Amino acid sequence: MCGIAGGTKFYSPKSINEEILVNMLGRIRHRGPDESGIYSSDDLAIGNVRLSIIDIASGQQPLSNGDGNIWIVYNGEVFNYIELREDLVKKGYQFKTHSDTEVIVLLYEEYGIDFINKLNGQFAISLWDKRKKELILVRDRVGIRPVFYTVKNKELYFASEIKAILEHPDIDAKISSQALSQIYTFWTTISPGTAFEDIYELPPGHYMIFKKGSMIIEPYWQLSFPSQNDYAKISLNDALEQFTEILTDATKIRLRADVPVAAYLSGGLDSTVTTSIIRDVVPDMLQTFSVGFADKDFDESEYQNIASKFFGTKHTGFKIQSSEIAEIFPDVIWHSEIPILRTSPAPMFSLSKRVRQSNIKVVITGEGADEMLAGYNIFKEAKIRQFWAKQPSSKFRPLLLKKLYPYIPSISEANSNSLKFFFGYKLAETSSPIYSHMLRWNNGNQIKKFFSKSITDKLNGYNPIDELLTKIGNKLDNFDYLAKAQWLEINLFMSGYLLSSQGDRMAMANSVEGRYPFLDYRLIEFCSKLNPDLKLNGLNEKYLLKKIATNRIPKEILNRPKQAYRAPIQSSFISKNPPQYVKQMLDRNKIEEQQIFDISKVSDFANKLNSGIISSETDDMALTAILSTGLLIDQFQNRQGFQKQERLANCRIIKD
């Protein structure tokens, strides 16, 4: 695992030099503290910081093919590199290392850009083809690993994190008002946009070819579902057998490393199943880690301990206080590089820190199962709301929604009329491609009432949902309700929030690599073809996975009600002695200075929270959004986060 950065100098030899690139790489040294390297030529400079996991002795980057015409810096892992290497050896290729990095270089030499389709992994790749004078960027299928870019004076600059790009003296950060509108709606931006103007992400499943005078960005893989009633004709037993086989192999190849591999154990179904598979493969060496909450309303420690005891793992668990969440929140925003509406990334930041303190670099986690097998309540909501829409005046159908949120009293204790008021938003629009997410997005939209007049004027009626609908077009027309919901969840929320703000960024902030068996592309493609009833059977989520888990995980975990991962918000920020930044970001002077929010509205809101009134879910999101946006502006736009610079470790420079 690494961090990468670089830029071209096709038009100006001074557009990037070794000093600038050293600063760019130093800014993301947390992604690779072990060593670093730079390749510099007349046309470009590229480099990496390395977290040594595979071929520690000889896997340094930048790395080239035999004649030095192809160079690579690369962030990630190709898990099937052993099999790919064997195929290349049969074709006559000779290797000078045992790394997966060299496999990529020689695959490109053999197959050209089609090499991407042979990779099973999580990666952001930068390849320089010296003969064609082409810089190639590639991102993995679902966006586990990030890569950002901008074009300035016809030159391309890229990096694993935006903060590295901002080390270039010609590039500034400016918050995009349209991006804020998107984030407060979807929890993320619409790809390829970011929170900053003129800085973009390479979308998941895409590659870029940049050369003098042109840029091409193309998809090489896209998530797809069958048309309604055109699912794979497969029995439950056959589905169980095939799913188990793929998941087991996906987990096994993610254990490939020259350092110890541990696992996160959340107390839920997904991580418990992957832990059971790991135990079968390496029964005597499994370490597990988990984070719980001092606030019992959010805590799952009981189930984490049950799982650890059942598998006999060497377990490290701890509980985080609400005050700790508030204390580390500025670090969370620094690494997320985007405003967030939940505090959920903060405990993941603390968890990865505890993992790194235990000298572990790699963890297996359960992300992806909810998206692939319809585990989230949003999928059940869509099913219930469609059922309810057939008889919209029914008193009883809305009551089904109470089953989804036993841990939220305002819903579980609500009467039919209250449920109709909250969940009845655009109930009849069942044919809409975004029907499943309308309610969530409408709730997020409430944050925009805090916008200042200047931001509202800039937006000039801009509606991110309209932009998304235009982008979707007719792609989802032939999908059933569940496929539409899964497509939205995977393409927007999973990539833009879950795998970034809660995944890559919180782990790599502490130099820890997360690996995700449920996001093996073979498993994704298999699940997408399944009949919806094998995923969401009635209101029984992840039906297929639960069948697999029977008799292999503790019954207490198998049979427990679904509980969403959440972290405290109001108790974190609203207290007798909150961190200084909380007071500062809600202060009238700061609000006026940043010009994002309306002064009087934020002041009234802060007074309401400080009065002791219990906040709603929408209030919690608004509070987190206001604080995180203010922190982001200070850290990036006002450059308060750029004062301390990390020194590179063992940097080698290759000049061509």
C-alpha–C-alpha distance, residues 1 and 96, integer Å: 20
Q: Are 205 and 139 in contact (CB under 8 A)?
A: yes
C-alpha–C-alpha distance, residues 189 and 195, integer Å: 7
612 or 347: which carries more pLDDT confidence?
A: 347
Helix 322-336 to helix 345-357 angle, to the nearest 10 degrees? 90
Convert 556-588 to b/e letters by CB count within 10 Å (16 or more is b): ebbebebbbbbbbbbbbbbeeebbebbeebbbe
CATH second-level architecture of 2-222? 4-Layer Sandwich (3.60)
CA distances from 343 to 55, 326, 348, 350, 428 (A): 37, 9, 10, 12, 33
Q: Which helix (H) or strand (E) holds 264?
A: strand 261-264
Convert 358-389 to b/e letters by CB count within 10 Å (16 or more is b): eebbbbbbbbbbbbbbbbbbbbbbbbbbeebb
Percentage above 90 pLDDT, the chain: 84
CA distances from 20 to 3, 40, 496 (A): 15, 12, 29
C-alpha–C-alpha distance, residues 179 and 193, integer Å: 7
Is the pLDDT at 282 greater than 90? The verdict is no
pLDDT, one tens digit per residue, over 387-403 is: 999 999 999 898 888 88
Could you tell me the residue ranges of all domains in the chain?
Answer: 2-222, 236-372+491-558, 379-482, 570-642
pLDDT, one tens digit per residue, over 12-31 is: 999 999 999 999 999 999 99
The predicted model gives 3-17 an average pLDDT of: 95
Q: Are 648 and 25 in contact (CB under 8 A)?
A: yes
Q: What is the pTM of this model?
A: 0.96
The predicted model gives 279-306 an average pLDDT of: 90
pLDDT, one tens digit per residue, over 229-253 is: 899 999 999 999 999 999 999 999 9
Q: Are strands 261-264 and 362-364 parallel, antiparallel or unpaired?
A: parallel
The predicted model gives 242-267 an average pLDDT of: 95
Q: Which helix (H) or strand (E) holds 235?
A: none
Q: CATH for 236-372+491-558, among 3.90.650.10, 3.40.50.620, 3.40.50.150, 3.30.300.130?
A: 3.40.50.620
The predicted model gives 524-547 an average pLDDT of: 96
On average, the pLDDT of the chain sits at: 94
pLDDT, residue 445, reads 82
pLDDT, one tens digit per residue, over 109-126 is: 999 999 999 999 999 999
pLDDT, residue 1, reads 63
pLDDT, one tens digit per residue, over 186-219 is: 999 999 999 999 999 999 999 999 999 899 999 9
